[in-house]
Amino acid sequence: MYARHILIIAFFAVAGCASGPQSRDMSVAEHDRAARAEDGAAACDQRGGSGLPGAPCWTNPDQRSIDAHRAAAARHRADSAALRNAEAQACVGISETDRGTSPFEHTADIVRVEPYSQDENVGDVGVPRTREAGATVVFRAVPGMTAEWLQRLVECHLARNAALGHLVPEMPDCPLVPRGVAAHARSVGNGFAVDIEAADPDTVREILARSQRLVAPPRTSARR
């Protein structure tokens, strides 16, 4: 019995199926894989086994373990469906091209990038301070662009990135990719600004670094 418990613990570590905050950071594909793994573990437990690849399913059924695996599979499927639905709803009316292309890839229409900060009160007595919160990216006005449409596009990409588990290597400079990001589009003079922010200091730095790369001059090869 002790050995079987060790195998079950190892299964959860490998499959990444533990419930809690870490499961909420998983992508749609990861939730789907985890649900299938839980189904396999439940089927194996129904015959009595660990559910690990290549391990035997001993005749030692444990109904509590079977029910736990089935419940975990259901949770993963529900989380996967929620992420899919959130992306579908956020991206209504957004073309496939705009869904697959970050708005920040249109660097020719980016006027400037600057740090974004927020004023807040901290402590019991509400001491005022200014907190670095992320970056502001300013776009020039382009035909058909409105702050409302830009906000919808930003929200579509935030939902899409969540569905992908915030792993989007094809968009290395998009400041909407990191986990825990919020963004708000607004009109400014002859253009539009997007304020991108986060609460986590490391994420704030990543937002600013990604945003600054959008307007960085292209690198030139060194002369030989």
- Using DSSP's 3-state secondary structure scheme, residue 150 falls into helix
Write down the pLDDT at residue 132.
Answer: 93
Question: Do 125 and 206 reside in the same domain of the chain?
Answer: yes
Q: Are 163 and 87 in contact (CB under 8 A)?
A: yes
Write down the pLDDT at residue 80.
Answer: 79
Tokens 């290549």 belong to: 54
**pLDDT, mean of each 10-residue run, the chain (224 residues):** 34 40 66 75 59 57 75 81 83 92 95 92 74 95 94 95 89 95 95 96 97 83 53
Buried/exposed code over 51-88 (b: 16+ C-beta within 10 A; e: otherwise) = bbeeeebeeeeeeebbebbbebbebbbebbeebeebbe
Question: Do 35 and 109 reside in the same domain of the chain?
Answer: no
Write down the pLDDT at residue 217.
Answer: 79
Question: Do 85 and 101 reside in the same domain of the chain?
Answer: no
- Per the structure, the count of domains in the chain is 2
Whether 44 is in a domain gets the answer yes
Write down the pLDDT at residue 205.
Answer: 97
Write down the pLDDT at residue 15.
Answer: 39
Whether 219 is in a domain gets the answer no
Write down the pLDDT at residue 47.
Answer: 53
Which letter does DSSP use for residue 103 in this model? Answer: G
Per-residue model confidence as pLDDT tens digits over 136-186: 999 999 999 999 999 999 999 999 999 888 988 999 999 999 999 999 999
Q: Structure pTM?
A: 0.70
Write down the pLDDT at residue 58.
Answer: 57
- Using DSSP's 3-state secondary structure scheme, residue 89 falls into helix
Domain that holds residue 129: 96-214
Question: Do 160 and 107 reside in the same domain of the chain?
Answer: yes
Which of 36, 66, 90 is a domain's end point? 90
Question: Do 210 and 100 reside in the same domain of the chain?
Answer: yes
Bridge partners (DSSP) listed for residue 117:
132
Strand order in the sheet with 191-197: 110-122, 127-140, 191-197, 182-188
